[in-house]
């Protein structure tokens, strides 16, 4: 895998694409500037995020920064095409507060992958990105997407158009197939390896170790459940309501954290970095204070005894 200077924490720019809530261009710039000022140098985006709005806003911000001082990743697999039927409506189906005058078209062919990258570069205003991820192939055609998309992405890497390639997914089946493909440098593991649950530990992470695949770990707060010190029944989990058993486990983890003077979000941010395959974690934010707080949380010292206690209680695996 290429030597990429991710840093321990990166910014996922879905919120910059008006995920759930609209923000102004100025507010988006302030959020990105806060991340930069806090030392964040890795930014992840996608055409999917706000139908290109995230890429455009991120690109406008990064245009003010030296190109060799940051890493940026985007996604391929979804092309944005005109959607006359959506004119006058919002992209509510995908939870982005943006006009639905474009639609997402799945295309993991060689031509589609190259078009996706070229169109992303135009929106970003960059001449290159560092990493491209095939985005959620399991949502369309996992086997077909990997069969055509990965060779096309290998070609991008061999041509020097990107430094690293990978697959981003919430599906352990998709992640495992990608890790064993022999083609990729990175996996973006979304919500499958967190302090609350670790299904990726069964097969995916061992495959990454065997194949030398690095992990960019995303959705480490399980959509919000682990982002507060004392989560309650109204906490968001995997974009929906939290099951009672999951909530009880997380509340027990939070209680152990308090014994050691550590908050649940601090532990959630740092837990997966104990695994050597994890190169960085990325978090989202919708206001500057959130990213600033998460950078501070990442710098907190967590005693090894905390992890030992959680293991003894069966709250995390050995």
Domain spans of the chain?
A: 9-243+263-297
- Tokens 């601090």 -> residue: 266
Residue 168: which pLDDT band, with cuts at 50, 70 and 90?
very high
State the Cα–Cα distance between residues 53 and 124, nearest whole angstrom: 10
Percent of the chain exceeding pLDDT 70 equals 100
Is the predicted pLDDT of residue 239 greater than 80, yes or no? no
Question: How much is the pLDDT for 2?
Answer: 74
Strands, E assignment, 209-268:
214-218, 236-237, 240-241
Contact (Cβ atoms closer than 8 angstroms) between residue 226 and residue 255: no
Region for 130 from its dihedrals, namely left if φ exceeds 0, alpha if ψ lies in -120 to 50, beta otherwise: alpha
Q: For domain 9-243+263-297, is the CATH number 3.30.70.20?
A: no
- β-pairing, 186-190 vs 102-106, is unpaired
What average pLDDT does this structure show over 65-71? 97
At residue 236, the pLDDT reads 84
Q: What values do phi and psi take at 284, rounded to 5?
A: -100, 170
Q: Which residues is 98 bridged to in the sheet?
A: none
239 catalytic residue (yes or no): no
Instruction: From the candidates 49, 140, 239, 271, give the one annotated as an active-site residue.
Output: 49
CA dist list (Å): 5 to 2, 50, 69, 272:
10, 27, 9, 18
Q: Is residue 68 over pLDDT 90?
A: yes
- Cα separation, 248 vs 244, in Å, equals 6
Non-local CB neighbours of 93 within 8 Å, separated by 6+ positions: none
Q: What is the pLDDT of residues 86-145, one digit of tens each?
A: 999 999 999 999 999 999 999 999 999 999 999 999 999 999 999 999 999 999 999 999
Q: How far is CA 60 from CA 112, 121, 126, in A?
A: 25, 12, 10
């Amino acid at each position: 895998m290429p030597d990429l200077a991710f840093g321990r924490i990166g910014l996922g720019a879905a919120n910059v694409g008006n995920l759930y809530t609209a923000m102004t261009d100025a507010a988006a710039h302030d959020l990105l500037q806060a991340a930069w000022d806090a030392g964040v140098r890795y930014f992840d985006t996608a055409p999917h995020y706000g139908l290109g709005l995230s890429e455009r806003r991120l690109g406008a911000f990064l245009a003010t920064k030296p190109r060799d001082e940051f890493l940026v990743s985007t996604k391929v697999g979804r092309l944005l095409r005109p959607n006359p039927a959506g004119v006058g409506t919002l992209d509510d189906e995908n939870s982005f507060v943006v006009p639905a005058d474009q639609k997402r078209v799945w295309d993991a062919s060689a031509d589609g992958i190259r078009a996706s990258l070229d169109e992303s570069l135009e929106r970003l205003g960059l001449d290159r990105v560092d990493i491209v991820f095939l985005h959620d192939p399991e949502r369309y055609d996992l086997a077909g997407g990997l069969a055509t998309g990965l060779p096309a992405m290998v070609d991008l890497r061999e041509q020097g158009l990107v430094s690293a390639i990978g697959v981003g997914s919430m599906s352990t089946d998709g992640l495992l197939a990608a890790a064993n493909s022999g083609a990729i440098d990175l996996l973006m593991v979304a919500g499958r390896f967190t302090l609350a649950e670790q299904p990726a530990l069964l097969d995916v992470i061992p495959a990454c170790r065997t194949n030398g695949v690095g992990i960019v770990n995303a959705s480490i707060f399980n959509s919000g459940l682990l982002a507060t010190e004392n989560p309650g029944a109204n906490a968001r989990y995997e974009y929906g309501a939290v099951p009672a058993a999951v909530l009880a486990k997380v509340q027990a983890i939070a209680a152990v954290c308090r014994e050691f003077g550590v908050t649940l979000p601090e532990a959630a941010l740092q837990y997966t970095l104990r695994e050597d395959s994890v190169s960085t974690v990325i978090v989202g934010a919708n206001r500057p204070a959130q990213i600033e707080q998460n950078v501070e949380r990442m710098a907190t010292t967590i005693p090894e005894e905390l992890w030992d206690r959680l293991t003894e209680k069966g709250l995390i695996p050995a």
